[in-house]
Amino acid sequence: RKEVEQDPGPFNVPEGATVAFNCTYSNSASQSFFWYRQDCRKEPKLLMSVYSSGNEDGRFTAQLNRASQYISLLIRDSKLSDSATYLCVVNLGNYGQNFVFGPGTRLSVLP
Amino acid sequence: DVKVTQSSRYLVKRTGEKVFLECVQDMDHENMFWYRQDPGLGLRLIYFSYDVKMKEKGDIPEGYSVSREKKERFSLILESASTNQTSMYLCASSPGQGPYGYTFGSGTRLTVV
């Protein structure tokens, strides 16, 4: 089983739609969690950290369920500029950091 | 903002050449990482370093080595470049312990011919 798994995508949604991405991880000792976005032929950029209580940043909401080892990202009122690949990232590290990246889910927001 | 700078955006090298990819970060981060990213394979960790002169193998270290003589600089070395090392190479850095994300450089797209 892969350490971090994501919905394969691609997700093609109309502008204004709400879209949700799911991610599962296998290591119950995982320490921290993130969502990154990566535009075509660019580097990944941190979108948001994911906290146990759930957190929101504008149109983006991240949820973590440690019991089910599950992370989600919800995007409301999607914009054309949200088109990108979204990477789920899990930190296995105790000392320092040991990030494991999911394969990513591609989102295309259509006019 | 943390800045991670990779020396070249695009690079073309010949098979058998020794290739140096340089990465510099300006925020005094302890941790530095080298990844490669290939279509369908995602991001794979090559080497990482938690401190000066310290290095650890990642998931795919074969054919690569690294050097970290100064805290801000982490170099990836392809000892004898091969065509299967054609890839996008991404450097990243992060602070020491804690729930901090990585900051990536803009990447070097290496083609080995």
Give the pLDDT means over successive 10-residue stretches in chain B (113 positions): 87 97 93 92 91 91 96 97 97 81 93 97
Which one-letter amino acid corresponds to residue A48? Answer: M
| Other CB atoms within 10 Å distance of the CB of residue A93 | 19
**Residue where the block lists tokens 């929101």:** A56
Give contacts of A105 with chain B, Cβ < 8 Å. none
Token pair of B91, please?
Answer: 């450097």
Q: Measured between CA atoms, how close is A111 to chain B, in angstroms?
A: 27
| Other CB atoms within 10 Å distance of the CB of residue A12 | 13
Token pair of B26, please?
Answer: 């300006």
What HEC string does chain A produce?
A: CCCEEECCCCEEEECCCCEEEEEEECCCCCCEEEEEEECCCCCEEEEEEECCCCEEECCEEEEEECCCCEEEEEECCCCHHHCEEEEEEEECCCCCCCEEECCCEEEEEEC
Task: Report A:18-47 residues touching B (Cβ under 8 A).
Answer: 31-32, 34, 36, 41-46
Token pair of A56, please?
Answer: 């929101």
Kindly determine whether residue A101 and residue B42, on different chains, have CB atoms separated by under 8 Å.
Answer: yes
pLDDT given at position B27: 86
d(CA B25, CA B27): 6
pLDDT in tens, A9-27: 899 999 999 999 999 999 8
pLDDT given at position A1: 61
pLDDT given at position A95: 53
Exposure class string for B32-68: b at 16+ Cβ within 10 A, else e:
bbbbbbeeeebbebbbbbbeeeebeebeeeeebebbb
β-pairing, A11-14 with A105-110? parallel
* Mean pLDDT confidence for A44-55: 90
Give contacts of B42 with chain A, Cβ < 8 Å. 101-104
**Residue where the block lists tokens 């290095």:** B55
Identify the DSSP state of B98: S
Kindly determine whether residue A32 and residue B99, on different chains, have CB atoms separated by under 8 Å.
Answer: yes
pLDDT in tens, A94-111: 555 678 899 999 999 999
d(CA B108, CA A74): 31
Tell me the residues of B at the A interface, defined by beta carbons under 8 Å apart: 30-31, 33, 42-43, 45, 50, 90, 94, 96-97, 99-107, 109
